[in-house]
Structure 1
Amino acid sequence: SLALIPVPDVPVVPEPLRGRYVAHVRIAFTGDAEEGERLVAPLRAVAPRLLDTLTEMPYTASAAIHNDPPTPMPWYADVAMLDELAESDVPTILKTVGPDAPVMCIVELRHLGGALARRQGAPNAVGHRDARYMLYVLSPLVGPFTPETVRPVHRRLFDALAPRTTGRFVNFMGIGENAGAEQVRSAFDPEDHARLVRLKAVHDPANTFRANYNLEPGTPGSR
C-alpha cells in the first residue's frame, strides 16, 4: 500500500520526517529475503528515501509495518473499493485531499488482488473481491478539525470517484453517518447481504448484537 501523510513538526516524530508531506510505501512479502530484496529494488530506485525500515520480521510483528500511533485518537474516515484507478484520478486525489487540502487528510491506497480475489473453499460474505484498489481517507479530529469541517472534503473525493467505486470494505468503514444501514449494505454483494439478514432474523431477531456495523434482522425466507 501507499500512504500520503502530512507529518506534524513535533519532537516525537523522527527528524527526517518532521513537517514533511510523506509518501509511505508499505510492503509485505512472504518469500525469502533475497527474492524480496530483488522485488523492492525498483521501488527503492524511484526517489531518495527519507527512512528505510524494511526488514525481516515474524508475522506476529506485521502490524508494525504501518507504524500507526500506539494510542487512540478521535478521527473521521471513509473508504471506497475501486474497480480501477486511472492516471487522471491521481491529480483529483492530490488536489482534494493532498498537501493543500483545507483539513488534515491521511490517504492510503491499497493494491488488492491475490488471495483476496480468489473465491475458493466454502461460500463466505467477503464483498467486492474483484476490486483492484482500496482507497481510505482518515482525518484526525484535533484542533480546529471537526466532523463538520472534514466531511465536505472527504465527500468531494468520494463523489469524484463514484464511477469507479464498487462499494465499501467493512474493516475500514468510518463511524456515525459513515456506518449507517446503506453504508453497511454497500460492503457486501447483494445476495450475501440478503443471506446475512435472513440469518440475523433466525439467530438474533431482537438485534441484541447491534453495537457494530449493524445488519438489522430481515424476514426469514425473504431476499
Structure 2
Amino acid sequence: MQALLKLCTTKGSMLVMNKLRIFSAALIAVAGSAVVSSCGGDKQNPGLEFARNMYDPIAYNPDQPNKNFANGQTAQLPPSGTTPVGYDKVDEYPNTNEGYLAASNNLVNPLTRNKQNLTEGKNLYLHMCSQCHGPQGNGDGTIVALEKFPPPPSYSKGNSSRGGAMKDLTDGKIFHTITYGLNLMGPHRAQLDPTERWKIVMYVKELQKLQ
C-alpha cells in the first residue's frame, strides 16, 4: 500500500513538473517570436511599441500649428508688461559708468518694504556681504580683519569710489554694483537672483541710516 502511494505521489509530481516545463517552453517561444517579429521584416515598421504616449506628447510643440489660438500658432508673445522667467532688468544697463548712472535714474526697488522682505534681505546680506562689509555695514568684516585687503567704505559714513556719500546711494546704484561688482568686489548675479538682490538693496538702505 505504501509503495502504491509513493508511486502515485511520484507520478503526480512528475506530471506537475512536466506541465511547468511545457508552460515555460511556450512562454519562451512567445517571447522569442515577439523579439524576432519586432526586429525583422519591414524596416519602416517599428514593430511592437510600448507606452506610445511617452513619445507622442499630448501638449503641442512650440513650432506646431495650434487651432486653439486665433493666429494658429502654439508659440505666443507674452502679455505686455510681464517679465520673462530669469530675465534680469539690469541687463539694460551695461557695466559702465554710464550704465551705473542710468540704473540710478531708472531702477527702483520693485519689492514691497515689509518685515518679511527686510528679514530675508538681512539674512542674505549676512551670508553674502557681511564678510567684507561687516554686519552693520561699517566695512569691518571678517575678511578685512585678516588685514590683507583694504576695507570697503561704510554705508552710513563712507564715500563711494565713484563719488558721493555711501548713504546717498540709490536703489539702482546698489543693485547695479551687486550685479556687476566693483573694485575688489566680484559680481554676484550668478549667486543671487534679481529678487534676492533687491532684498539686499532694501536691507542696505536700512544700514545707510545707521550713525
Tell me which interval the TM-score lies in, with the shorter structure as reference length.
Answer: under 0.3
Structure with max Cα Rg: 2
More strand by share: 1
More helix by share: 2
**TM-score of the aligned structures, taking structure 1 as reference length:** 0.18
**TM-score of the aligned structures, taking structure 2 as reference length:** 0.19
Compare relative contact order (CA 8 Å, sep 6+) and give the higher one, 1 or 2.
1
